[in-house]
Every structure is written in structure tokens, then in C-alpha cells.
Amino acid sequence: MNLRRLLRPAVSLSAGLTATLAFAPFNMPLFALLSPALFYLSIAGISAKRAIWIGWCYGLGFFGAGVSWVYVSIHTYGYAPVPLAVLLTSLFVMALATLFALQGWCFTRFYRIPRYAWLGFVGVWIIFEWLRSWLFTGFPWLYLGYAWIDTPLSSLAAILGVWGLSLLSLLFAVGITEAIRSQRPGPGIIALTLPLLTLLLPNEWTTPEAKPPLRVALVQPNISQHDKWDGDNLPHILNQQIELSMPHKDVDLIVWPETAIPSLYFQAAPYVQPFFDYLDSNDTTLMSGFPFMTGNPHDESLMMFHNSLGIFSGSSGVYHKQRLVPFGEYVPFENQLRGLITFFDLPMSEFSLPHETQLTLPVKDWAIAPLICYEIAYPELTRISALNSQLLLTVSNDAWFGDSLAAYQHLQIARMRAIENGRWLLRGTNDGITAVIRSDGSIEAQIPRKVAKVLTAEVPAMQGKTPYQHLGVWPTLLFALLLMTLGWRPWQRISDKYHRTTG
């Protein structure tokens, strides 16, 4: 009996673990079907109380494998000893896993009658994926839809967004599973019909403008994270990036990655200003990440710091990051935690959110939508920034996560944003993966990780808007709510009564 009670948690944990194989760098979308299907089987027909435990086990596997790279930043670069790094990573994963625990509870509490309950499972999953994009500032990572980035289904992201792809994936996986489990054809018919119908929709929504392409150079300096914030290394770091950039002084745009200037500008100016002046005289725009200091509007005696992307030649403009990483860029409960351990005193951990920011940056007669690092994972934030742009740009520093899965997952996410918005996307990073991404999500060119190199390309300005840009997540959310309504217990009672009467 005890062994039987352990079977569901074990299956659920294993199902969560295998979900990671659906995403980069493994890229096996079959697991985006198998993983939720096994989770569905694990909680179908059990009590709501037990579903909390089963759902939590699934979440432990899902996030424990999928975001294990958090350990690297805590231990390797946060200098936390191994036991403490394991503890903090475990607490992070366990906290995220509670979302799947709540998801399991919601499904089993309100969807107990089997005829249409599987539709409720799909709807509840989508609502919780959406919740993860904003709840407690959000952790919009590992959405099932990302698994389809290298398949014909990826073009549907321009219409439905990544959440729509997640919904289609779940309809297929859970519908087929329910058809086999209940030996009823209905779920299988729905599972096959809806995804196939969507393939009949158009897949080209934006077109290149009739003007010359933008010539760009993305600088990947490959600066060690251990050296980056050591003030003694500032001249060497800046000179290295200048040397990498100099052969490309005649392009339209040079991009340095996130915090490529690892100091306040007045400290870096003696080393970089002559080069920036030279580029300015050459009408070449250079953008770089840097920490921006400004006065606190509520207290003039205090200063605020922003993680920013600025234009230093050829034009002007500054973008301030709108989504900050907890503990990485700001410390929750700062008064209690600051100074407790080295991890809570990391460089860049004193940034603030801006009161307002510039959503596009000008280069020549182009409007570029900038996003910094983690922000590219937010579909709606990117959509709003991209509405009045012709090109997307994201800068990042994934060196925080070493040789883990993070850089590959991050690139996969960026590719999805390009499809959703029908725009080419430039991705400039410190140590990889620097890439130029086409509007269909395919990679035009990229630089291998862990090398100091410059990626050059010519990219077109795109015009027009995708359906996702027009409507955002709302069609998918409304459809998820419809599925939840169809599977809801009172509705099922009415439906079953109707079938008995007419049968």
C-alpha cells in the first residue's frame, strides 16, 4: 500500500524533470507533450488535498531541473558555500513549485466529473503560466510553447504568442491522453482538430521597409564575471571593447552588452570618451549597457541607480530596465538581508525601477525597441515595447550562470519574441550567445560562447503588426477561461443531465 501511494508522487516528479528536455539545448518537443500528460494522469481522480502534494512534486522536478542554473550564480559568483547555495537554490525551486501545487488543487477541486474535466486542466495550466509572468514581479520561464520554436508550429506565435502554443500543446497532449484513458473519441477529436486548423492560418504578417538595411556590429567581449566588477580592471575591460569595436567603426550601430561599462560613466569617461567622440564624428551610433545614477524624486539627499542601455555616439537616448531580478538586481527585505551573506551584496544588487523610461531608442531614422537581459522573457513587456519599433534589441550578461542551461534557454526565449512581434532581433551578450535573429525566429548568425569576437550583419527594418501585437495574450486567456467553464463541475452536471435525457 505504501509503495502504491509513492507511485503518483514519483511519476509526477519524473514528469516534471523530463519537461526540461523539451527546451534548449535539448530541443525535444515530444517532452512538451509527455510531461503534462503524465502530470494529468498523476492527479486525475484524486482528492484536492492530495493533489497539492502531487502538484508540488511535479513543480520540484519541473523547476529543479529547468532552472538549476540559479545555483551557479549563488555559489560561483555569489560566493555562497556549497551547502548554503544548495539550500538557497532549493528554497527558490520549492517556492516556484507551490504554483504547480496550487494548480493541482484548483483542477481537482473544481473538475472532478470526468467528461470534460481535461479541458479544465488545460485552461488552469494556461492561467497559471500567465500568472507566472507577473506574480511577485514574475518568473516567465519554461513555458511549454517554447518547445515548438524549431517546428512548423512556431509561426503560430505571431498570432497566438507563446501562451497560445502552450495551449495547443496541452490540448493535443491531454486530449489524446484522456481519449485513451476514458476510451472516448471526443477528446481525441478535439486534440487533433484544433491544432490542425490553426495551421491553415496565414504566417506572414510583417514585411521589410523599402530602405537600406542597418549595418550592425555586436561586440561579445567575454569578460570574466570574477573580473568585471573589480575597479582595477576597468581600463583593461574598456580598452578591450574599444579594440574589438575599432575595425567596425564604419557600421551604423555598434552594440556593447549589458553593463559593458561596469562603472558610473564619470569613472569610465577618461578611457572611452575619445573613442565615442571619434564615432560621433563618423556618424556611428554606439549603444552600451551601464549603471545610471540619478536623484531620488522623493528625497533629494538620496541617489537612485538603474540598469540602463544608453546611446553614447551618433544620437542620444537612455533606456532604464523595467523588470529587475530579485536578489540579482535588488534585494527584497533589504534592511534585514543586506550584509548577512556575500550573496546579498552582489554587484548590481542596488538597482531601482524607473518612474518612466524611453521605450524606443533612435538610430539614424530607425526606432529600436531595447530590452535588458531578463526582460526579453516577458512576452507582454516586449510586445508593448515593439509596437512602435522596426527592430528589437536585447543585451545580456549570462556569464552569471556559467556553463549551465541558462544561455541556451535565454536565446530560445529571444527567438520566440522575434516571431511574436514580426521583427528581427539583435542579441548582444558578454560571453554568449550573441546572435542575429530573423523575424521568423531562425538564426541569421551567431557567435560561439566563451570567445571574444564581433558579430556583423545587415538587418532590415520591419513594418506592419502581427495579430499578437494587436491583441496580446487576451484571446488565449479568454479561450482558457472558456475551457475552464466547459469543464467546471456545475456545467458538467447540466451536460450529463442533458445526455441522460436525450440518450
CA 132 to the chain's CA centroid: 11
**Amino acid letter at 171?**
L
CA distance 339 to 234: 25
Cell of 354: 524607473
Cell of 423: 521583427
Cell of 197: 486548423
Instruction: Kindly give the pairing relationship between strand 214-220 and strand 453-459.
Output: antiparallel
CA distance 427 to 227: 23
Length of the chain: 503
Quick check: is 258 catalytic?
yes
Residue pointed to by grid coordinates 491583441: 471
CA distance 458 to 297: 41
Cell of 25: 539545448
CB 24 within 8 A of CB 405: yes
Strand, coil or helix: 302 = strand
| Angle between helix 234-245 and helix 265-281 axes, rounded to 10 deg | 20
How buried is residue 136: exposed, middle or buried, by Cβ count under 10 Å (0-12/13-18/19+)? Answer: exposed
Which residue, among 460, 484, 429, has the nearest Cα to 109 in the 3D structure?
A: 484
82-96 exposure pattern, b = at least 16 Cβ within 10 A, e = fewer: eebbeebbeebbeeb
CB 90 within 8 A of CB 56: no
How buried is residue 355: exposed, middle or buried, by Cβ count under 10 Å (0-12/13-18/19+)? Answer: exposed
Quick check: is 321 catalytic?
yes
CB 91 within 8 A of CB 471: no
Read off the DSSP letter of residue 77: I
Of 106, 228, 373, 380, catalytic: 373
With residue 254 as reference, give the H or E element that holds it: strand 253-255
Of 321, 375, 380, 465, catalytic: 321
How buried is residue 208: exposed, middle or buried, by Cβ count under 10 Å (0-12/13-18/19+)? Answer: middle
275's CB contacts (< 8 A; 6+ apart) are: 242, 245, 246
Cell of 309: 542601455
Cis-peptide into 25, omega within 30 deg: yes
CA distance 11 to 17: 10
197's CB contacts (< 8 A; 6+ apart) are: none
Could you list the active site residues?
258, 321, 373
